[in-house]
A and B are shown apart, each in its own frame.
Chain A
Amino acid sequence: AQTVTQSQPEMSVQEAETVTLSCTYDTSESDYYLFWYKQPPSRQMILVIRQEAYKQQNATENRFSVNFQKAAKSFSLKISDSQLGDAAMYFCAYRSVRETSGSRLTFGEGTQLTVNP
């Protein structure tokens, strides 16, 4: 079974600075998807960024980018020019491409990000 680990329960960053959230995962599969979800205090889960394992290029969405290291099974999220609205719980998630698994997501424990003004 796949597992996802976020070793940083809490992180903090100054407004306008850059922060990196760590995520590692364990799988025997060669093709899969990885995600970062954001959960603000409203509890709504919001997709931040997605990475397909077969793609070597790291995904980027505006101020959010990932460092995907397939061999190391590492998938970190970098937030540049941090804003107060970035404060939230961030979850890393894994999904197999095999539909027999029900296409469900396996989540990490979460990292609570605080942005200081």
Chain B
Amino acid sequence: NAGVTQTPKFQVLKTGQSMTLQCAQDMNHNSMYWYRQDPGMGLRLIYYSASEGTTDKGEVPNGYNVSRLNKREFSLRLESAAPSQTSVYFCASRNLRGTSGGELWLDTGELFFGEGSRLTVL
């Protein structure tokens, strides 16, 4: 199972350049998330998409845009990269609810993560 796949794994940009981080999940999950990880700050939420067709800002959305292309894919775009955006970016996904054996269940909140994308902005 591929799970959550992010591309690229590594990228070096110059200040002012643009790029898009791609994320795809094959688990039929409803919700998808973009986090950034910085030393001493844990993971901070940039944007999330609770379901296909919706996106919302997280803690640190400035300088980023997102697109929920379909249920599988959720991309993160840097329009004009800045050195402050040097970080490791993680995409994650999960289901809010579903059925199992005819019973409705609410998920327990676990996120499934991609392997991360290390972005350096010079």
Of A43, A105, A109, the contact of B111 (CB 8 Å cutoff)? A105
B45 at the interface (CB under 8 A from A): yes
Interface residues of A in 51-101 (CB under 8 A from B): 52, 91, 95, 97, 99
Interface residues of A in 1-55 (CB under 8 A from B): 4, 6, 9, 33, 35, 42-45, 47, 50, 52
A116 at the interface (CB under 8 A from B): no
B61 at the interface (CB under 8 A from A): no
Question: Are B31 and A33 in contact, CB atoms less than 8 angstroms apart?
Answer: no
Which A residues touch B113, using CB under 8 A? Answer: 44-45
Question: Are B42 and A43 in contact, CB atoms less than 8 angstroms apart?
Answer: no
Q: Determine the distance from Cα of A47 to Cα of B116 in the docked complex, in whole angstroms.
A: 15
B74 at the interface (CB under 8 A from A): no
A102 at the interface (CB under 8 A from B): yes
Shortest C-beta distance, A115 to chain B (Å), equals: 21
Q: Determine the distance from Cα of A102 to Cα of B45 in the docked complex, in whole angstroms.
A: 11
Binding site for B on A (CB under 8 A): 4, 6, 9, 33, 35, 42-45, 47, 50, 52, 91, 95, 97, 99, 102-110
**Can you report 9 A-B residue pairs in the complex whose CB atoms are below 8 A from each other?**
A35-B110, A44-B113, A44-B116, A50-B109, A91-B42, A102-B56, A103-B50, A105-B45, A107-B42
Q: Sorted from nearest, which 7 A-B pairs have the closest CB atoms?
A: A45-B113, A107-B42, A95-B109, A43-B116, A33-B109, A107-B43, A109-B42
Binding site for A on B (CB under 8 A): 31, 33, 35, 40-45, 48, 50, 56, 58, 88, 90, 92, 94, 96, 107-111, 113, 115-116
